[in-house]
Amino acid sequence: MIALAIENLTHDFGGLRAVDGVTLTIPVGERRVILGPNGAGKTTLFNLVTGLFSPFSGAIRLFDHDITALAPYQRARLGLGRTFQVTTLFPRLTVLESVRLAVQGADRARFSLFRPFASTRRLSQQAEALLAEWNLTDRRAVPTRELSYGEQRQVELLLALAGRPRVLLLDEPTAGLSAAEAATVVAMIKRFPPDVTVLLIEHDMDVAFTLADRISVLHQGRVLAEGTRDEVHADVRVKEIYLGSQV
């Protein structure tokens, strides 16, 4: 079964074509890494898929739904989660409060005005359980802005996961992390439920090749190459854009 199908997606910024006829088909449970140099259109592609930008043309399907015209929150409710390249947390809320909001986003009590106690207790229990599962319980009462950068990236992943997504888009989860911190984050991603489909933007080749089932290489808004890690590794064009055409 296909989890996410992107068909011929195109987006312009003024005169610049940032995403140029991208087509990607990702089966359920796959770990797909999107590789590409700066300006290849990777983050723009994620913003189109999650609905923060509207595409100029093309279509996006999430399982059985055409989500091309849906608002970001509607896509999220259909099971689309994401993290951001620039850490996007709730600076003054604690880790527990943040995770509880993420749990609540996928819960029917989302909009409840006058049901403080029963629903709050259920949401808190779910949030506590997630913190315990991902070894963050001892950081539960810390405001997220006071966490180390590595911990913030972990919380960012946890928030995305707490919404119980079926498809998860991770925008450079290890960017700016030390080797040890990156290893923690990679281990976290490896522990994600196997039925969650993961799309991952990654600059670090080692991380990319560790996590990926398949790799798509984006260059100047187009899919340049796609295949297993060995196929992509052997691709001459990929070497050219990463190492320069003189090699």
Partner 1 sequence: MIRALGTTVGALALGLLPLALRSYQLGLLTKMLILAIFAMSLNLILGYGGLPSMGHAAYFGIAGYTVALLARGGLTHFGLELGAGIIAAALTAALFGLLALRTQGAYLLMITLALAQVLWGIAFGWRSVTGGDDGLPGIPRPVTGLLWSVGDGVRFYYLVLVVFAVAMALLWLVVRSPFGRALVGIRESERRMEVLGYNTWAHKYVAFVIAGALAGVAGILFVYDNRFVSPAYLSVVLSATGLIMVILGGAGTLLGPALGAAAIVFLENIISAQTQRWPLVLGLIYVVVTLFAPAGLLGLRWRRRATRPS
Compute the least distance from the CB of residue 181 to partner 1, in Å.
21
- List binders of partner 1 among 123-142 (CB under 8 A): 123
Distances (CA, A) of 106 to 53, 82, 128, 164, 198: 22, 14, 16, 7, 18
Compute the least distance from the CB of residue 198 to partner 1, in Å.
15
The single residue among 115, 236, 245, 247 that binds partner 1, judged by CB under 8 A, is 115
d(CA 80, CA 167): 5
CB atoms within 10 A of CB 159: 24
71 makes contact with partner 1 (CB under 8 A): yes
d(CA 81, CA 168): 5
Contacts of 114 (CB under 8 A, 6+ apart): none
Stretch that binds partner 1, among 17-25, 55-63, 100-108, 189-197 (CB under 8 A): 100-108
The single residue among 92, 233, 237, 239 that binds partner 1, judged by CB under 8 A, is 92
Half-sphere exposure of 155 (CA within 13 A, CB side): 32
Compute the least distance from the CB of residue 119 to partner 1, in Å.
6
Q: For residues 5 and 52, which CB has a smaller minimum distance to partner 1 in the complex?
A: 52
11 makes contact with partner 1 (CB under 8 A): no
Q: For residues 52 and 175, which CB has a smaller minimum distance to partner 1 in the complex?
A: 52
Q: How would you label 29-55 residue by residue, b for 16+ Cβ within 10 Å and e otherwise?
A: bbbbbbbbeeebbbbbbbbbbbbebeb
Compute the least distance from the CB of residue 93 to partner 1, in Å.
6
Q: For residues 18 and 89, which CB has a smaller minimum distance to partner 1 in the complex?
A: 89
- List binders of partner 1 among 141-200 (CB under 8 A): 159, 163
236 makes contact with partner 1 (CB under 8 A): no
CB 187 within 8 A of CB 125: no
120 makes contact with partner 1 (CB under 8 A): yes
φ, ψ dihedrals at 185, nearest 5°? -65, -40
Distances (CA, A) of 180 to 82, 149, 228: 23, 12, 26
Compute the least distance from the CB of residue 114 to partner 1, in Å.
6
72 makes contact with partner 1 (CB under 8 A): yes
Total length of the chain: 247
The single residue among 1, 113, 179, 187 that binds partner 1, judged by CB under 8 A, is 113
Residues binding partner 1 (CB under 8 A): 50, 52, 71-73, 76-77, 80-82, 84, 88-93, 97, 100-102, 104-107, 109-116, 119-120, 123, 159, 163
